[in-house]
């Protein structure tokens, strides 16, 4: 029986897969594990009643497992790893937190209206730490030659970083970080990523109200 998953629909296009990086992380995990699934697109600005009944907080993603709906991408991906251990996507514990602050520092910088508030440097510091890790370990992925959970968490976030900062701040990852560029290219070339990413225009639309509230 196919798993069921509720994910965000695109802003202004309720029939198109949307821009939620946590939803994409779950879809990437399902794709990499070659698990059949049925996807429900949820219009976040007009949530259907049946969805609010299974996710009272109205959050996506949620996954149906054994007739129960489970929320939170951390919990969902852990359950999928436990229940479907092959192929393994486990990240070695010593690498599990690599890049973990990139998304929060990206969001702060994206929303910043003050160029001297240190938010750009904070993001650059995190990207430089990722560069150092990639430079000193075999790649192309964080834990080596095989993609693992930490990569599937970072891939959608780095996509958002690239698209949103490019659009709203004309900013891009510096060329002085070649390993980060190579890593992003490796992630964005995955078949699973191609299949589960939203169009750039929906990433831009998804951030609009946060950048210009």
The whole-chain average pLDDT of the chain stands at 97
Model confidence over 132-181: pLDDT tens digits? 999 999 999 999 999 999 999 999 999 999 999 999 999 999 999 999 99
What is the reported pLDDT for 200? 98
Does the model's pTM come out above 0.95? Answer: yes
pLDDT at 213 over 90: no
Distance between CA atoms of 141 and 152, rounded to whole angstroms? 10
Q: Is 20 part of the annotated catalytic residue set?
A: yes
Q: Taking residues 95-117, report their average pLDDT.
A: 97
Pick the catalytic residue from 5, 20, 130, 204.
20
**DSSP structure string for the chain:** --EEEEEEEETTEEEEE---HHHHHHHHHHHHTT--EEEEEE-TTS--HHHHHH-TT--S-EEEETTEEEE-HHHHHHHHHHH--SS--PPPGGGTTTTTTHHHHHHHHHH---TTSSHHHHHHHHHHHHHHHHHHS--SBTTBSS--HHHHHHHHHHHHHHHHHHHHH-----TT-HHHHHHHHHHHTSHHHHHHPPPHHHHHHHHHHHH--
**Considering just the CA atoms, what is the radius of gyration of the chain in Å?**
17
Model confidence over 185-210: pLDDT tens digits? 999 999 999 999 999 999 999 999 99
Sign for the pseudo-dihedral over CA of 176, 177, 179, 181: negative
Model confidence over 4-23: pLDDT tens digits? 999 999 999 999 999 999 99
CA angle 160, 162, 163 (to 5 degrees): 65
| Bond preceding residue 74 cis, omega within 30 of 0 | no
């Amino acid at each position: 029986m196919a798993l069921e998953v509720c994910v965000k629909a695109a802003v202004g296009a309720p029939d198109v897969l949307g821009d939620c990086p946590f939803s994409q992380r779950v879809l990437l995990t399902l794709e990499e594990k070659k698990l059949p699934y049925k996807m429900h697109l949820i219009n976040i600005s007009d949530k259907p009643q049946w969805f609010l009944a299974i996710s009272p907080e109205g959050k996506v993603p949620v996954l149906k497992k054994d007739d129960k709906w489970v929320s939170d991408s951390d919990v969902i991906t852990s359950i999928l790893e436990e229940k479907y251990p092959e192929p393994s996507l486990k990240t070695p514990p010593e690498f599990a937190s690599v890049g973990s602050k990139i998304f929060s520092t990206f969001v702060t910088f994206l929303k910043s209206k003050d160029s001297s508030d240190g938010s750009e440097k904070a993001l650059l510091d995190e990207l430089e730490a990722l560069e150092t890790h990639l430079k000193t370990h075999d790649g192309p992925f964080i834990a080596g030659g095989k993609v693992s959970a930490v990569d599937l968490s970072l891939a959608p976030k780095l996509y958002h970083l690239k698209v949103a900062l490019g659009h709203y701040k004309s900013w891009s990852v510096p060329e002085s970080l070649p390993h980060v560029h190579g890593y992003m290219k490796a992630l964005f070339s995955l078949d699973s990523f191609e299949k589960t990413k939203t169009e750039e225009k929906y990433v831009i639309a998804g951030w609009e109200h946060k950048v210009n509230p």
